[in-house]
């Protein structure tokens, strides 16, 4: 199909007729800014096809505010060698004329003719909407709707499927889908979507498991029962054996025998103990007797020893006695030496004292002489100072008055100068010296007088000239002069001087005197820092001291020859003291030794006497004899006991009393154990018997068998359901797979076109459509790996690109099945980046080889490389 010409009049923007002619095969590019009429043109084309000419719902076609307009569209296109002319106008002038190669169809017939040709529906009533648009709705993309593909495809579904062939309809509508529904529903009764058991199957599995557990439990109980039966049999056999053998009786008898043997050994052990006691008593007695005899023997030796000791003591005492005179003499000598040394020391000390006092006397006398001179000088200085001060006082002037005087004098001097300046000058040059007087004083020669007060110049022969100095100044100066003169005179009087010079002379003298005073005062301070009285008192004190020293010297004894030095004398005293001390020690130790010797002698004599008395006692020999007899007797008894003990010990050891004791215990315990075992066995027998009777009555075997029956049934049911589930699962899988395969096969022609375009964008890529031919999955090769992305998850731009590709593929499909295709893109691909846009242009150019494409854009720069001349909307309108 090729659109040849479009003209529009009184339609929206186009209040005046606009015509587009000479449309090309392939791409026709229309550019213009926003609101330049691109969308209006698209709307006009759509209206020409989609809207019934009689529709009253197309008010939007009228230019704004012009309700009287009759919007009109004229189209001319070629299809299968025939030229179609369409003239449609709406609202105020409702008209439709479609002529095909000369045959004209008017009114509704014309509307329907177009709908049949392009594959869309017309609304029965009202405005056309997307549900009616069919193929053009899919291929004519409105502004901003490029990414929307699902709804348009659905609305064009019939025609698209028809283009693919009749079989495709079969896939969705035959018994197959119903079958899949049934199988899926049956399967869902037994399996969840993920293949987990549910419903009856899950219940059957639970039941089987439950029964298995129950059966296991019952079998265990039966096994336990059987074990207990065995135990019962074993216990019965043991009991029979015990009843027959009665082992505990035998053990009791054995215990008794052992006890008897043990008793007889115990008797022997008692005898043994008794004899051992007797033996030890006997041995103790022998020991005592031996001690006694030994005592007797040692006494004899002791007597001799005592005699010797006595002699020794005596000898020692005599020797000590002989040393006495020498010791006493040494002591006396030491005492004398000590006394002499002490006296010598006293003398030395006195001599040293005198020497010291005499030296002090001499020093003091010298000091006294020097300080007396000093005192004299100080006194005379003091007197001179007094005089100077009196003189100074007379010369003193009051400082303030002095200052006032100076100021008054200076002011007067200033006034004097002032007076000369303001005074009336009387200059004269007289020839006759006697002729002129001023205030009575004659004036002569050449001169000048200053007049401060009125003056009278008498000129002889002439009369008197009275001169009055002019102005207040002269008078005031004169007044000030008088006041200051009074003041000065007052001050001079009060100061007692005749002039300022005198006053200043007096002041100079006064200062000079002050300096002399200061100098004298400083010398005086040096001589008597604490004053004259202090100096004189000090002198007096030292005088007294000197007198006392003289007294002390005279009090000392007179010196006797040459005296030792004190140090030497002290050393001699110390030596004498040491010698005395050692002499006294020697004497004391001698006295002690003497006392000890006396004591020893006394003691030795006593001992000697005592032993001698004892030895001479007559009873003593009798005792000695008795003791010796006793010793013999006890010795024999000891040997007897020892023999009897040794013999008995052999007997006891042979009988092994410890082993016998253990035997008694062992046999007794064995008997007890046997009896206890008997009791325990009886108890266990009773217990097991009771348990078995109870359990036996439960009919475990039958219960077990019944449970087996139930389990068998449950297992069978589970297996049946499992098999059914597996079968349904397999069936569903196969049916779905085959259905998909068939769909794929039927979609192959479309898929071919899709792949063709997608690979212009993504080499190796493909776009899958679902069974309704709606794009579903984009498959790309990225870094050698296959990447799948759901269409709905793609970015806006990518979705728009894929949607356009799908549309072009649908167009190819339709074209192949002999259907007209016209593609209109209003501002398409605005969301594509430069790279993609480039690829998409290849896609579009490729499609334009087979289809006419009208492309409207407000971005002409993006489409310069489409290989066509762009037509400006502005140019169209102004043409």
Partner 1 sequence: MPRFLHTADWQIGRQYPRFDPDDAVPLAEARLTAVERIAALAAEESVDAVFAAGDVFDAQTVSDRTIRRLFNAMAGYTGPWILLPGNHDAALAESVWTRAQRLDAVPDNVHLALSAEPIEFSEQGFVVLPAPLAQRHAQNDLTAWFDQADTDSGLIRIGVAHGSVQGVLAEEMEAHNPIAPDRAETARLDYLALGDWHGAKQINARTWYSGTPEQERFRGNEPGHVLLVDIASSGATPAVMTHFVGQHQWIQHEAALAVSSDVDALVSALQELPEGAVVDLKIAGTVDLEGKQALDRAISVAKARFRSLTVDDAGLRLQPSEEDIASLKADGYVGAVIAELQEEQSGENGEVARDAMAVLAEILLDAQGQGGGA
Q: Is 711 in the site for partner 1 (CB under 8 A)?
A: yes
Q: Which of 323, 713, 752, 859 binds partner 1 (CB under 8 A)?
A: 713
Contact 150, 774 (CB under 8 A): yes
- For the segment 668-697, give every residue that binds partner 1 (CB under 8 A): 688-689, 692-693, 695-697
Minimum distance of partner 1 from residue 724's CB (angstroms): 7
3-state secondary structure of 530: coil
Packing angle of the helix pair 130-139, 108-118 (nearest 10 deg): 50
Packing angle of the helix pair 657-697, 199-245 (nearest 10 deg): 140
Nearest CB to partner 1, comparing residues 85 and 703: 703
d(CA 268, CA 656): 12
Nearest CB to partner 1, comparing residues 384 and 738: 738
Stretch that binds partner 1, among 227-235, 277-285, 462-470, 765-773 (CB under 8 A): 227-235
Nearest CB to partner 1, comparing residues 4 and 700: 700
Q: Which two tokens stand for residue 264?
A: 């007889």
Q: Which of 699, 787, 838, 867 binds partner 1 (CB under 8 A)?
A: 699
Nearest CB to partner 1, comparing residues 598 and 726: 726
Minimum distance of partner 1 from residue 197's CB (angstroms): 16
Alpha helices in 762-855 (DSSP H): 796-816, 834-848
14: nearest Cα among 92, 69, 86? 69
Q: Which of 308, 420, 610, 738 binds partner 1 (CB under 8 A)?
A: 738
Minimum distance of partner 1 from residue 228's CB (angstroms): 8
Tell me which residue has tokens 């008795």. Answer: 626
d(CA 506, CA 396): 8
Q: Which of 183, 262, 527, 824 binds partner 1 (CB under 8 A)?
A: 183
Q: Is 188 in the site for partner 1 (CB under 8 A)?
A: no
d(CA 177, CA 785): 35
d(CA 700, CA 698): 5
- For the segment 481-500, give every residue that binds partner 1 (CB under 8 A): none
Q: Which of 17, 176, 749, 789 binds partner 1 (CB under 8 A)?
A: 176
Minimum distance of partner 1 from residue 719's CB (angstroms): 11
Listed in sequence order, the residues at least 6 apart from 236 whose beta carbon sits closer than 8 Å to its beta carbon are 685
Contact 24, 97 (CB under 8 A): no
Q: Is 17 in the site for partner 1 (CB under 8 A)?
A: no
d(CA 747, CA 165): 9
Stretch that binds partner 1, among 394-402, 441-449, 477-485, 735-743 (CB under 8 A): 735-743
What are the phi and psi torsion angles at 859 (to 5°)?
-120, 70
541: nearest Cα among 378, 376, 367, 355? 367
Q: Is 437 in the site for partner 1 (CB under 8 A)?
A: no
Nearest CB to partner 1, comparing residues 546 and 692: 692
Q: Which of 381, 652, 700, 777 binds partner 1 (CB under 8 A)?
A: 700
Integer-rounded Cα radius of gyration of the chain: 84
Q: Which of 511, 706, 786, 787 binds partner 1 (CB under 8 A)?
A: 706
- For the segment 233-272, give every residue that binds partner 1 (CB under 8 A): 233, 235-236
Stretch that binds partner 1, among 75-83, 179-187, 525-533, 757-765 (CB under 8 A): 179-187
Contact code string over 134-173 relative to partner 1, x by CB under 8 A = ------------------------------------xx--
What are the phi and psi torsion angles at 376 (to 5°)?
-60, -50
Nearest CB to partner 1, comparing residues 544 and 702: 702
Tell me which residue has tokens 């359990």. Answer: 695
CA angle in degrees (0–180, nearest 5) for 193-198-203: 170
Edge-to-edge strand list for the sheet holding 18-20: 18-20, 2-9, 72-79, 82-89, 95-100, 103-106
**Which residue ranges make up the site for partner 1 (CB under 8 A)?**
170-171, 174-176, 178-179, 182-183, 186, 222, 225-226, 228-230, 232-233, 235-236, 688-689, 692-693, 695-706, 708-713, 723-724, 726-728, 730-731, 734-735, 738-739, 741-742
């Amino acid at each position: 199909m090729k659109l040849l010409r479009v003209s529009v009049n009184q339609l929206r923007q186009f209040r005046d007729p606009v015509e587009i002619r000479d449309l090309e095969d392939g791409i026709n590019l229309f550019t213009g800014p926003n609101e330049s009429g691109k969308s209006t043109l698209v709307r006009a084309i759509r209206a020409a096809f989609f809207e019934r000419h009689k529709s009253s719902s197309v008010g939007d076609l009228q230019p704004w505010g012009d309700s009287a307009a009759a919007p009109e569209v004229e189209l001319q296109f070629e299809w299968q060698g025939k030229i179609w002319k369409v003239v449609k106008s709406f609202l105020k002038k409702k008209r439709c004329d479609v002529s095909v190669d000369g045959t004209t169809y008017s009114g509704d017939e014309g509307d329907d003719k177009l709908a049949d040709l392009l594959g869309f529906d017309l609304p029965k009533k009202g405005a056309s909407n997307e549900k009616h648009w069919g193929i053009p709705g899919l291929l004519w993309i409105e502004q901003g709707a490029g990414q929307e593909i699902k709804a348009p495809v659905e609305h064009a579904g019939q025609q698209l499927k028809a283009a693919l062939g009749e079989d495709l309809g079969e896939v969705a509508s035959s018994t197959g889908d119903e079958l899949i529904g049934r199988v899926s529903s049956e399967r869902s009764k037994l399996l969840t979507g993920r293949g987990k058991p549910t419903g009856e199957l899950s219940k059957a599995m639970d039941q089987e498991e439950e029964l298995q557990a129950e059966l296991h439990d019952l079998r265990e109980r039966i096994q336990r029962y059987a074990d207990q039966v065995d135990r019962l049999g074993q216990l019965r056999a043991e009991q029979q054996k015990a009843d027959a053998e009665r082992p505990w009786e035998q053990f009791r008898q054995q215990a008794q025998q052992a006890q008897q043997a043990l008793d007889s050994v115990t008797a022997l052990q008692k005898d043994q103990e008794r004899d051992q006691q007797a033996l030890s008593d006997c041995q103790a007695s022998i020991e005592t007797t031996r001690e006694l005899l030994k005592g007797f023997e040692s006494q004899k030796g002791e007597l001799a020893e005592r005699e010797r000791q006595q002699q020794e003591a005596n000898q020692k005492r005599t020797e000590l006695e002989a040393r006495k005179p020498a010791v006493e003499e040494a002591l006396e000598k030491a005492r004398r030496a000590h006394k002499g040394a002490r006296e010598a020391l006293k003398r030395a000390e006195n001599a040293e004292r005198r020497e010291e006092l005499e030296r002090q006397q001499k020093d003091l006398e010298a000091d006294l002489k020097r300080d007396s001179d000093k005192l004299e000088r100080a006194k005379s200085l003091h007197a001179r100072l007094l005089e100077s001060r009196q003189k100074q006082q007379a010369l003193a002037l009051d400082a303030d008055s002095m200052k006032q005087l100076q100021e008054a004098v200076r002011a007067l001097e200033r006034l004097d100068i002032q007076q000369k300046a303001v005074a009336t000058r009387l200059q004269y040059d007289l020839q006759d010296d006697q002729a002129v007087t001023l205030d009575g004083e004659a004036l002569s020669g050449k001169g000048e007088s200053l007049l401060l007060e009125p003056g009278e110049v008498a000129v002889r022969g002439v009369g008197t000239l009275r001169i009055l100095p002019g102005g207040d100044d002269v008078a005031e100066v004169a007044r000030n002069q008088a006041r200051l003169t009074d003041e000065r005179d007052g001050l001079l009087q009060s100061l007692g001087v005749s002039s300022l010079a005198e006053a200043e002379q007096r002041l100079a003298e006064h200062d000079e005197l002050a300096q002399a005073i200061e100098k004298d005062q400083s010398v005086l301070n040096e001589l008597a820092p604490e004053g004259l009285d202090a100096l004189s008192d000090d002198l007096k004190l030292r005088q007294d001291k000197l007198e006392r020293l003289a007294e002390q010297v005279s009090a000392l004894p007179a010196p006797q020859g040459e005296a030792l030095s004190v140090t030497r004398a002290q050393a001699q005293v110390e030596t004498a003291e040491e010698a005395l001390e050692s002499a006294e020690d020697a004497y004391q130790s001698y006295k002690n030794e003497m006392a000890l010797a006396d004591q020893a002698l006394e003691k030795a004599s006593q001992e000697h006497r005592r032993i001698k008395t004892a030895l001479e006692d007559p009873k003593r020999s009798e005792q000695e004899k008795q003791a010796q007899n006793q010793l013999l007797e006890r010795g024999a008894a000891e040997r007897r006991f020892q023999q009897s003990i040794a013999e008995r010990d052999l007997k006891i050891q042979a009988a092994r009393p410890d082993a016998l004791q253990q035997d008694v215990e062992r046999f007794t315990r064995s008997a007890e154990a046997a009896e206890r075992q008997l009791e325990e066995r009886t108890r266990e027998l009773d217990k097991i018997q009771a348990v078995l009777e109870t359990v036996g009555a439960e009919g475990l075997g039958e219960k077990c068998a019944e449970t087996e029956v139930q389990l068998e049934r449950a297992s069978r049911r589970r297996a049946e359901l499992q098999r059914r589930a597996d079968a349904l699962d397999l069936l569903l899988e196969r049916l779905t797979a085959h259905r998909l395969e068939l769909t794929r096969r039927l979609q192959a022609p479309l898929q071919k076109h899709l792949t063709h375009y997608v690979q212009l964008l993504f080499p190796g890529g493909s776009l899958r459509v679902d069974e309704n031919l709606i794009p579903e999955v984009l498959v790309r090769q990225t870094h050698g790996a296959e990447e799948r992305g759901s269409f709905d998850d793609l970015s806006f731009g990518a979705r728009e690109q894929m949607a356009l590709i799908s549309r072009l593929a649908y167009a190819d499909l339709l074209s192949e099945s002999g259907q007209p295709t016209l593609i209109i893109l209003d501002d398409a691909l605005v969301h594509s980046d430069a790279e993609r846009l480039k690829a998409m242009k290849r896609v579009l150019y490729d499609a334009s080889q087979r289809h006419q494409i009208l492309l409207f854009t407000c971005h002409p720069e993006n489409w310069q490389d489409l290989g066509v001349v762009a037509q400006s909307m502005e140019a169209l309108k102004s043409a």
